[in-house]
Structure 1
Amino acid sequence: MERTRLYVFASVFFGVVLVGTLTFMRVESLSALDALYFSVVTVTTVGYGDIHPVTPLGKLLAMGLILSGGGTFFGILAAAVEMFLGRREKRLRAEKLDMIIGLFFSQVGSALVRRLIRADGGVAVLRENLDVSLRWTKENFKKAQETLKNYHYDVDMAAIDLPALNTLLAQNSEFLVRLLENPNVLEHETFTSLLQAVFHLKEELAHRPHLDAVPDCDREHLRLDLKRIYAQILLQWLHYLDHIKDNYPYFFSFQCRVTPFLATEDATVCS
């Protein structure tokens, strides 16, 4: 929006200057350079006075330039400042959101990813393309993203410990609510959708008194809820790793040592 407004003001401004230059050349018998110079200093309201109109028509044109071009010139300045501040504010909001996503994975997201991966029978494909390391480049992240977009997500409910999962989400219930209440989160539709899916699963599990003996039909219902989360959380996890690799390399190093595809979460650098 700000960029469009800037383009409109700039187009009008250069149009006014062009018309003024051509008209001054004809009416005031000025050279092209002098006519352009006079048009610019008039429109920008500088008005050095070294060149001034001497004909009645030239004076009328100069007044028209001041009224039309002056407002347009200041409109360009205002639009440019607004666009600059808008970009800066957008960047700051994006940084805050990345911090929130990082908190989500530190608190509950990484544990949830690990549980879902261990319940995925086709995890070998993911391990081959998502086993993140310090040597990863933007091309690796791009390739991994394509893999996730085309991946067939599935969850083996026999490998999911529902009581333990319920405990994990219940312990972080207040944390999840606060994330959903954060206004910065609402601007990121995909992350908001993921949070809503996680919160929905938490509610589903909380309202089942016997999670260790869930009927098969109900287990299938929960499997679909888990698939919904699985298909979203890995993409967010990958985006999060891509962000911290560029901005927080020390934290990226830690995540590479505790990636969900490893057998343990031991972050020991050497043994």
Structure 2
Amino acid sequence: MVIVVEAAISRRELSERLEKLNMVIGAFFSETGTEFLREASRFESNTPFIASRLIMDASWSREDFKKIIDELNDLEFSFELGSGESIELLEYLREFLILRRNFLLGLLENPNLLEHESFTDMLWAVFHLMEELEARKDVRSLPPSDYEHLAGDLTRAYSAVIREWLGYMEHLSENYPYLFSLAVRKNPFNPEARVEVID
């Protein structure tokens, strides 16, 4: 009887920790992740394909999420930086991420993240990108080799964020349909997405 009670308590504690973790993940996407994906995706080579596969709605099942996650795992993301609007992207991301430094540091200090190694790795990738951009006084006049280096940092962060976003969207679809509805209406890969509910 004692073993059964202890097992029940352990399951409940695990469930509570996972729920707190998903709240942390939700905060990241509300404050940083969704906009990061929206802006960066405009310069990623696979975006047309990805966008065509990520028009979600309430009918999406676990199998739909598994299928797209498997497809994305087979993709190699890439960015070409160094000219035109791509430099404006770097300037935007530099300011955008620096403004969120304290928020990102707070997430890294959250003990609930011990339960989610891939999310912690994603945060480190985003934080590293921010530090790389901040260390450069002027991203408009860098040598080609440095733009290539920054493209690698951006690719690392972007690929991690998009995979965590898909996992979070699946969690919302299964557990919080009202939150999933809003997240779908803010889908960073759907240019037709609107927050307003339209019949």
TM-score normalised to structure 2 length = 0.91
Residue 265 of structure 1 deviates from its aligned partner by 5.9
CA deviations over 1:27-82 (Å, ceiling 9, x no partner) = xxxxxxxxxxxxxxxxxxxxxxxxxxxxxxxxxxxxxxxxxxxxxxxxxx332222
- Is the CA contact 2:54–2:190 (under 8 Å) kept in the aligned structure 1? no
Residue 264 of structure 1 deviates from its aligned partner by 6.0
1:1-271, aligned counterparts within 5 Å?
77-157=1-81, 158=83, 159-160=85-86, 161-263=89-191, 266-270=194-198
* Higher Rg of the two aligned structures: 1
Q: CA RMSD in A?
A: 1.6
Aligned partner of 1:43 in structure 2 is none
Counterpart-to-counterpart distance in 1, 2:187 and 2:6:
42
- Where does the alignment leave 5 or more consecutive residues of structure 2 unmatched? none
CA deviations over 1:7-33 (Å, ceiling 9, x no partner) = xxxxxxxxxxxxxxxxxxxxxxxxxxx
Q: Which has the larger displacement, 260-269 or 242-251?
A: 260-269
Counterpart-to-counterpart distance in 1, 2:53 and 2:77:
15
- Is the CA contact 2:40–2:158 (under 8 Å) kept in the aligned structure 1? yes
Counterpart-to-counterpart distance in 2, 1:182 and 1:218:
33
Counterpart-to-counterpart distance in 2, 1:266 and 1:227:
27
Identity among equivalent pairs (%): 38
Letter of the structure 2 residue corresponding to residue 195 of structure 1: L
- Is the CA contact 1:120–1:155 (under 8 Å) kept in the aligned structure 2? yes
Counterpart of 1:120 in 2: which secondary structure? coil
Tell me: higher relative CO, structure 1 or 2? Use CA pairs within 8 A at least 6 residues apart: 2
CA deviations over 1:173-231 (Å, ceiling 9, x no partner) = 10000000000012210000000111111111111101222221111111111111122
Letter of the structure 1 residue corresponding to residue 47 of structure 2: V
Return structure 1 stretches of 4+ with deviation > 4 angstroms.
none
